[in-house]
Amino acid sequence: MPTTAYQIDVIKAFNDNYIWLLRNQQYAVIVDPSDANVCINYLKQHGLILTDILITHHHHDHIGGLSTLIEYNEQRDQATRVYAPKLNEISGTTHPLVGNETIVLEQFNTTFKVIALPGHTLGHIGYVDDASLFCGDTLFSAGCGRLFEGTPAQMSQSLAQLAQLKDTTKVYCSHEYTLANLTFALMVEPNNLDILNYYNQVVEARKQDKTTLPSTIGLEKTINPFLRCHLPQIQQAASDYKNAIITTSIETFAAIRQWKDNV
């Protein structure tokens, strides 16, 4: 039997949100349901029973459809397990999480580890198994989330945790920001051919309205400036931006994040 027994489908919502749906022939698990209507339509179209919802953080564009999905299941006498950050006391949560827990999804023959990822928000969490990472707005392809609640040190540590995952781990983040992020990455590392080559691929993909996700941890370590803050060339770029001498990963991250915020 394979390590995991599910496939991952993408449901597009709003302008650039991605809702990830894990499924087999009968059951479904939804990650960050921003829009209930598109989720319900998908469940009905494919004849799937929703059993679990995984929430990464409390922002409305990640939980906006949660209450309606719970009601949808209640009308069908179907219980809904809702995993969500404990810190934010999100209504409907059945399993409040802080990180370092495990979630067993028996219907998919897999176990997810819960990772605390403070930075974008203080309660932000991620879910990872042997093959896949669902990281909300912590790590984007070629980028990372803004610091709405956390500190540069917290976000830097969260990203460092993710960089330690297997290179083959697929990265399922929640927004289609890849092209804009690569444009900025080329500002930071204009001579990085990995970024330039991938930028060209993404331009063509987006012309055809193709999603650029999932990424992989291995790819992100070559193209994502926020995972490369330990490297001399990134620290030099940060120093040039701040007109100061920067030599630590956290200072570099803070400078690059500020730079990105102001582009």
> In 143-243, at which residue ranges do the beta strands (DSSP E only) sit?
143-144, 170-173, 215-216
Rounded to whole angstroms, the Cα distance separating 110 from 220 reads: 25
Query: Is 137 assigned a catalytic role?
Result: yes
Token pair, residue 112, equals 């997810």
Query: Is 60 assigned a catalytic role?
Result: no
Catalytic residue, from 52, 62, 124, 129: name it.
62
Token pair, residue 246, equals 């920067």
Query: Is 120 assigned a catalytic role?
Result: yes
Identify which of 214, 174, 209 has the alpha carbon closest to the alpha carbon of residue 8: 214
Catalytic residue, from 35, 58, 59, 124: name it.
59
70, 79 Cβ separation under 8 angstroms: no
Token pair, residue 22, equals 């894990």
Identify which of 245, 219, 6 has the alpha carbon closest to the alpha carbon of residue 106: 6
Catalytic residue, from 35, 120, 124, 129: name it.
120
**Residue tagged 């890849």 (tokens):** 178
Rounded to whole angstroms, the Cα distance separating 50 from 21 reads: 10
Rg (CA), the chain: 19
Query: Is 61 assigned a catalytic role?
Result: yes
- Secondary structure (DSSP) of 67-128: HHHHHHHHTTT---EEEEEGGGT-TT-SEEE-SS-EEEEGGGTEEEEEEE--SSSTT-EEEE
Query: Is 194 assigned a catalytic role?
Result: no
Rounded to whole angstroms, the Cα distance separating 92 from 57 reads: 14
Q: Phi, psi at residue 223, to the nearest 5°?
A: -120, -10
Catalytic residue, from 32, 35, 57, 58: name it.
57
Query: Is 46 assigned a catalytic role?
Result: no
Catalytic residue, from 32, 61, 124, 129: name it.
61
Active site residues: 57, 59, 61-62, 120, 137, 175
